[in-house]
Amino acid sequence: MAAVTGSSVQPIAVGAGPPPAALERPDFEIVPRAGLPIVAAVLALLIVGIAVNEPWPLQFLHVVGGATWTVIDLFLGFVIGPIMGKLSIPARIELTTRLMPKMVLIMPTAVTVTLAAGWQLGNKLGTVQTSYYLHGWVVASYIVVGVMAVIALGLLEPANIAVLTELKKRQPNPQVIERLMKRFIFTAGLTGLMQIATLVIMTKLAAG
Amino acid sequence: MESERLPPVTQIGMLSLALIVAGGIYLAAHLPQQVSLAPAIVLLAASTLLLAGNLAALARVEGFAWARFFAVAKWALLAYAVIAGMIEYAFLRDGLSGGPLVVLTLSLVVFAVHVPVLIGFTVARYERPEPDALLAS
């Protein structure tokens, strides 16, 4: 048997006195069910936006989704990530169980809306075509998004789900949480850096 | 699970996703010109092989927490099928057809399968018997 105490797992002999206090964790859902209708509503808006195929709704969805995605990546990578790395284990767990379940819903939704609406908008305006005079910048944006997608899908999202699953266990392993949180903070910083490139490209495309 | 005994599922998965992304960028970067599909098909085939290899390597791991893997991966599969469906919808709405549509659709299938595999693997690799089960044994 083992109990979580601070940053290590302490073995406990059965009947050898009272066990150390277990780590307190707030109750949480890995995927917040209350947020699912909101996600469904946003995706329904996206379907309607693409079906209508008018510049304004597509622009709205692309800009709102992209701003959400960029700001969250920058904030997580450069503000929350370094703060989280310096927090005590209980404080980190408290923040993680309140923040990360929301990210499970927000980030895939924001990314899907940004990419699908952006692609449709690019087709509508002709900016995805080779004849567009800033085509090189558009291709650069594909590459930046592609790199971010591989990092986020291969490292960040699995680490997020894994740390939340670990925290749902009756006796979470702090070493596992530590390892996964390091991975999360590192990849969040990396995608934050990539988002700076996104901002450079998108402002260039907007300015012409 | 001991990390040393596990195949490099995450690394191979990321390489597979990178190949899919590269194929998609290649096709998207040449619109509306007709370009050879061969590079995109090669990248897709390589990505699919890596997915198959990843699954085969994982299937050979003794004592892997498959129950936990499937418990997580099935919901991730649902989520990523929805995401892939939205992207496919945009392709169809744009009138994409023929070879590029087939390649991009198959790429989305590989994406929608491989990401849940990576999520399920990352969760299941840290699975261990609950303390009560240890006491009972």
pLDDT digits (tens, 9 = 90+) for A136-181: 999 999 999 999 999 988 998 999 999 999 988 888 888 888 888 8
ipTM over 0.90: no
pLDDT score recorded for residue A208: 82
Per-residue pLDDT tens for B70-125?
Answer: 999 999 999 999 999 988 988 888 888 888 899 999 999 999 999 999 999 999 99
CA distance B100 to A156: 30
How does the average pLDDT of chain A come out, rounded? Answer: 85
Quote the distance between the C-alpha of residue B45 and its chain's center: 13
Note whether B96 contacts A: Cβ–Cβ < 8 A. Answer: no
Nearest residue of B to residue A154 by CA position? Answer: B14
* Coil, helix or strand at residue B60: coil
pLDDT at A13: 36
CB-CB under 8 Å, A165 with B123: yes
Interface membership of B59 toward A (CB under 8 Å): no
> pLDDT grade, residue A2 (50/70/90)?
very low
* Res B132: pLDDT: 54
Residue B111 lies in domain: 3-136
Nearest chain B Cα to A30, which residue?
B72
Helical H runs in A17-134? 36-52, 55-75, 81-86, 89-125
Instruction: Output the pTM of the full model.
Output: 0.84
CB contact under 8 A, B123 and A158: yes
Whether residues A153 and B18 touch (CB distance < 8 A) is answered with no
List Cβ neighbours of A107 (8 Å cut-off, separation of 6 or more).
A69, A72, A152, A157
Q: State whether residue B51 sits within 8 Å of chain A by CB.
A: no
Number of domains observed in the structure of chain B = 1
A126 — alpha (psi -120 to 50), left (phi > 0) or beta? Answer: left
* A interface test, pick of B21, B26, B27, B134 with most A CB neighbours within 10 Å: B21
| CA distances in angstroms from B29 to A147, B21, B33, B89, listed in the order given | 16, 12, 9, 20
Four-residue CA torsion sign, B50, A69, A118, B91: positive
Closest chain B CA to residue A158 = B119
* Cβ <8 Å between A128 and B28: yes
Element (H, E) at A4: strand A2-5
Task: Give the CA distances from residue B46 to residues A155, B13, B42, in Å, rounded to whole numbers and listed in that order.
Answer: 21, 12, 6
Give me the half-sphere count of Cα atoms (radius 13 Å) on the Cβ side of residue A60: 12
B133 and chain A: CB distance < 8 Å anywhere? no
With cut-offs at 50, 70 and 90, classify the pLDDT of residue B130.
low
Q: Which two tokens stand for residue A128?
A: 């995805």
- C-alpha A24/C-alpha B117 separation (Å) is 31
Instruction: Spell out the domain ranges in chain A.
Output: 29-207
